[in-house]
């Protein structure tokens, strides 16, 4: 069982300016979610940072809530928490794949996200992974988000208007070919 293996973890970092972290949790399995929240909040506080917590109906809504928060608020990092246990239908694959893919895409856009959505075969596997005195995946997700934030701060502030930019009025006038098409 993976719970008895030893895994390397990066040393905990610190920030000159404390981070503001949003924990987004899908509490479908409340006891498992609570363990993961406890692990995440302890890790965030150990980094000298602050957190807020919101709940959403399910794992599929976690990425949407993070995307909304990134556009409408001022969080530095995000921790996704939830649990999907295999059932009798293919819904398991849809929820696992789509929530993970959406979180990955948000991360590739520059958000600092720790993915703590457990995808397991049994409740026992979830309990082992969630337990703060065992695998403590809530703390692991928080640490991942904060390590990414540390990299982001090391490499500089987020840049606005990277990529395509609207043409300036001067360029539009000089480069306007529509009048010569008549």
How far is Cα 76 from Cα 73, in angstroms, rounded to an integer?
10
In 3D, which of 76, 47, 80 has the Cα closest to residue 65? 80
Residue 165 has pLDDT above 70, yes or no: no
User: Which pLDDT score, from 0 to 100, does residue 126 have?
Assistant: 98
Cβ-contact 24, 78 below 8 angstroms: yes
Question: Residue 65: its pLDDT value, please?
Answer: 98
Indicate which residue of 4, 7, 91, 147 is catalytic. Answer: 91
- 81 has pLDDT over 50: yes
Residue 7 is predicted with a pLDDT of 78
pTM of the model: 0.84
Please confirm, yes or no, whether 91 is among the known catalytic residues: yes
Query: What is the reported pLDDT for 149?
Result: 97
- Tell me, what's the pLDDT at 100? 98
Closest CA to 52 of 39, 37, 71: 37
pLDDT over 70, % of the chain: 84
Helix spans in 6-157 (H): 30-46, 61-72, 91-108, 123-130, 137-155
* Chain centre to alpha carbon of residue 102: 10
Q: What would the DSSP string read from start to end of 149-160? A: HHHHHHH-SPPS
Distance between CA 56 and CA 4 in Å, rounded? 32
Per the CB < 8 A criterion, the answer to whether 107 and 141 are in contact is: no
**Residue 96: closest CA among 78, 80, 79, 83:** 83
**Where do the domains of the chain lie, and which CATH numbers do they carry?**
17-181 (3.40.50.960)
φ/ψ of 28, rounded to 5, equals: -55, -45
Q: What is the mean pLDDT of the chain?
A: 89
């Amino acid at each position: 069982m993976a719970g008895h293996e030893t895994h390397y973890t990066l040393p905990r970092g610190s920030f000159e300016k404390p981070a503001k972290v949003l924990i987004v949790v899908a509490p479908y399995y409340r006891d498992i979610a609570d363990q993961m929240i406890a692990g995440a909040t302890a890790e965030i506080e150990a980094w000298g940072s602050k957190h807020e917590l919101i709940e959403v109906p399910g794992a599929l809504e976690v990425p949407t809530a993070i995307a909304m928060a990134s556009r409408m608020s001022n969080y530095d990092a995000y921790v996704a928490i939830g649990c999907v246990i295999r059932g009798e239908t293919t819904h398991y694959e849809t929820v696992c794949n789509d929530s993970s893919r959406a979180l990955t895409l948000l991360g590739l856009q520059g958000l600092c996200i720790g993915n703590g959505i457990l995808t397991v075969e049994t409740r026992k596997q979830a309990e082992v992974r969630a337990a703060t005195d065992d695998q403590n995946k809530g703390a692991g997700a928080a640490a991942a988000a904060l390590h990414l934030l540390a990299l982001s701060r090391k490499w500089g502030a987020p840049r606005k208007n990277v990529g395509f930019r609207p043409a300036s009025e001067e360029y539009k006038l000089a480069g306007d070919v529509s009048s010569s098409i008549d």
